[in-house]
Amino acid sequence: MSGGGPLVLRGIGELVTNAAGDEPDNLGLIADAVVVARDGLIEWAGPAGSPAAPAPRATDLDLAGAALIPGFVDSHNHLVFAGDRAQEYEARMRGLPYSAGGIKATVAATRAASDATLRALLGRHVAEALAHGTTTLEIKSGYGLTVDDEARACRLAREFTNEVTFLGAHVVPPEYAAEADAYVDLVTGPMLEACRPYARWIDVFCDKGAFTVAQTERILRAGAAAGLGLRLHAAQLAPSGAVRLGVSLGAAAVDHCTFLEDDDVAALAGSGTVCTLLPGAEFSTRQPYPSARRLVDAGVAVALASDCNPGSSYTCSLPFCLAIAVREMGLNPAEALKAATWGGARALRREDVGRVAPGARADLVALRAPSYRHLTYRPGVNLIDQVWRAPRESTVM
Ligand code: NIG
Ligand code: FE
């Protein structure tokens, strides 16, 4: 997209701009729109009939009435891994419950893989996400769990995105089974030091079978002192105080909000912390879907993300997650799309993505459909027609 003349898209039947900001179901729609991008940034977006619209030129691309949306901002993924756990998935579909313990199988496979293998797998998954319309992707470590393996995961992730999260506190690895607090010392000390150069965020899996609220607080405080932003796996398997802890520490997002208590919802409402829902995880673990409606009605800022990982949610398709959120979690199609674009951007504290406005990155997705509504109305059909993604250096960070 860089170099040469501007990219001019016209004949956009329906443009989603998200210009109305935080209003959950206002997509800032423009009919018969034109978008102009230059050097990876949006220069102009508006109705074709506007006096400010550029005059047509032979190099303009005509979308012939298709819908154009901001690229999805997928704020929660675990993509540095080797191997898969298809058998574990199949066992769950036969009735076995999901447990945090399965993570250890992926840790063993990931430790045994070469850099080249992990890089190739990362590349494949990132390409898969792009083909499903995701143009901004957060990637966590968390399947290394030694100083060197976690640093390697963060370094490799950084080759693909600036949104790297250090998740050394995913589970306590087998070699520390009897001494979880010693592992927390490692995470908050040498491991944090080794991962910090590559990471923007720190995350902790605070749940049954993983880390306690007290351990989580120690780890998040150490991460904040090292200059990292905070995010959290907060209530995936059971309610805990983790959501309120995340809010009180000013986390950008608390994720996996599956089991929420009224106090959690009250704490989230009006806070600067986004609540991230991950419908793919509930789908693949057969857990109950949380009510996104309850959150939106309480004034909580909601993001939808894919949680792509080999254990609990092996999908990078946000359209799939949107369809579930609409069918099972009480969102309308506009709210779901907003949560996966604007909401994801807020969860990453980014203003340059998740919207189509002058100065934002030109991360755009043309649909093989006349309206964004088709994304959830036609589940399982990949309607992503064309994706434009600004070069990495256009990122404001
Ligand atoms: O986000 N909850 C913790 N981590 C992952 C699952 C990881 C796995 O099962 O491999 C998640 O769902
Ligand atoms: Fe997760």
Convert the pLDDT of each residue in 71-125 to its tens digit: 999 999 999 999 999 999 999 999 999 988 899 999 999 999 999 999 999 999 9
pLDDT higher than threshold 90 for residue 165: yes
The full length of the chain comes to 397
CA of 255 to the centre of ligand 2 (A): 7
Q: What does DSSP say about strands 364-367 and 67-70: parallel, antiparallel, or unpaired?
A: antiparallel
CA of 301 to the centre of ligand 1 (A): 23
**Test site for ligand 1: of 79, 309, 316, most ligand atoms within 8 A of the Cβ:** 309
Same domain? For 64 and 88 the reply is no
Residue 228 lies in a domain: yes
Same domain? For 154 and 192 the reply is yes
Q: Residue whose CA is closest, atom 2 of ligand 1?
A: 205
Q: In the 8-state DSSP scheme, what is residue 380?
A: T
pLDDT higher than threshold 70 for residue 3: no
Tens digit of each residue's pLDDT (9 = 90 or more) over 202-217: 999 999 899 999 999 9
Q: What is this structure's pTM?
A: 0.97
Q: How many CB atoms lie within 10 A of CB 275?
A: 33
CA of 336 to the centre of ligand 1 (A): 23
Same domain? For 359 and 331 the reply is no
Same domain? For 244 and 374 the reply is no
Contact criterion met (CB below 8 Å) for 150 and 113: no
Residue 307 lies in a domain: yes
Please give the residue range of the domain that contains residue 343: 73-347
Ligand nearest to the CA of 305: 2
* Percentage of the chain modeled with pLDDT above 90: 95
Residue 262 CA, distance from chain mean position: 25
* CA pair distance 191, 185, nearest whole angstrom: 9
Tens digit of each residue's pLDDT (9 = 90 or more) over 315-336: 999 999 999 999 999 999 999 9
Q: How many domains does the chain have?
A: 2
* CA pair distance 80, 338, nearest whole angstrom: 27
* CA pair distance 15, 345, nearest whole angstrom: 18
Same domain? For 226 and 274 the reply is yes
Across 303-324, average pLDDT: 98
Same domain? For 252 and 125 the reply is yes
Same domain? For 81 and 13 the reply is no
Same domain? For 124 and 149 the reply is yes
Same domain? For 187 and 328 the reply is yes
Residue 197 lies in a domain: yes
Is any atom of ligand 1 closer than 6 Å to the C-beta of 233? Answer: yes
pLDDT higher than threshold 70 for residue 396: no
Is any atom of ligand 1 closer than 6 Å to the C-beta of 376? Answer: no
The CATH number of whichever domain residue 128 belongs to comes to 3.20.20.140
The CATH number of whichever domain residue 17 belongs to comes to 2.30.40.10
Q: Looking at the chain, which runs of residues are DSSP E strands? A: 7-16, 29-38, 41-47, 61-62, 67-70, 72-74, 134-137, 139-140, 164-169, 201-204, 229-235, 253-257, 274-277, 302-304, 364-367, 384-388
Across 147-171, average pLDDT: 98
